[in-house]
Chain A
Amino acid sequence: AQKVTQAQTEISVVEKEDVTLDCVYETRDTTYYLFWYKQPPSGELVFLIRRNSFDEQNEISGRYSWNFQKSTSSFNFTITASQVVDSAVYFCALTNNNAGNMLTFGGGTRLMVKP
């Protein structure tokens, strides 16, 4: 069985603050894939990043960065200098080659960025 936990259900910050969204996962497989998706108020999920279990390099894309730590089974997401447009629900997700093509989602973190 696999599981994704996003302990923060809601976070509220003021514009320009940095914010980190936590994601902790559980899996027994050595090969697995982690994802982050953004769900703005319009409803559709937007793909942000995919990371496989053999690639522990942290990644930066503009104001977004991801910290993957296998030792703590975490894949945290940081937004630097947050903007109002970052307000959304963010989902962390996990799959592996034995998951029967199933992506397991965390419960999501609602981020509210106030002007």
Chain B
Amino acid sequence: DGGITQSPKYLFRKEGQNVTLSCEQNLNHDAMYWYRQDPGQGLRLIYYSQIVNDFQKGDIAEGYSVSREKKESFPLTVTSAQKNPTAFYLCASGVGASSSYEQYFGPGTRLTVT
């Protein structure tokens, strides 16, 4: 089945620890995105990548880091510098290289930091 996988579904961490969220796609899409969703709000872009070994900051990149070593994979690290990391994180891949094309989303990872 083609799609996007994110693991784990729920993640719990202590404050001060870095944590990496995984995102894998087998849709052969060039573009991949990470979004953050807070309760009752829309999605905000953290980082995006249009091609392997290249990525760009979104609206709220501070406290996050990414890598894109393979086309299929776009892991997101939430660092201890992120002041309010508890949120729902969604990964997406895009049909085309720009955001003007539809995106397909994974099931999300709900991160809780205490």
Contact = CB atoms under 8 A, between A and B. Distances in A.
Contact of A103 (B40, B45, B50): B45
A35 interface: yes
B99 A44 contact: no
Contact of B100 (A33, A46, A105): A33
Interface of B: 31, 33, 40-45, 48, 50, 56, 58-59, 88, 90, 92, 98-108, 110
Interface residues of A, number: 27
B86 to A, nearest CB: 15
B90 A108 contact: no
- Determine which residue in A9, A33, A45 has the highest number of CB atoms from chain B within 10 A of its CB, and name it: A45
A93 B33 CA distance: 15
Nearest first, the 9 closest Cβ-Cβ pairs linking A and B are A105-B42, A45-B105, A43-B108, A95-B99, A101-B99, A44-B107, A33-B100, A47-B102, A105-B43
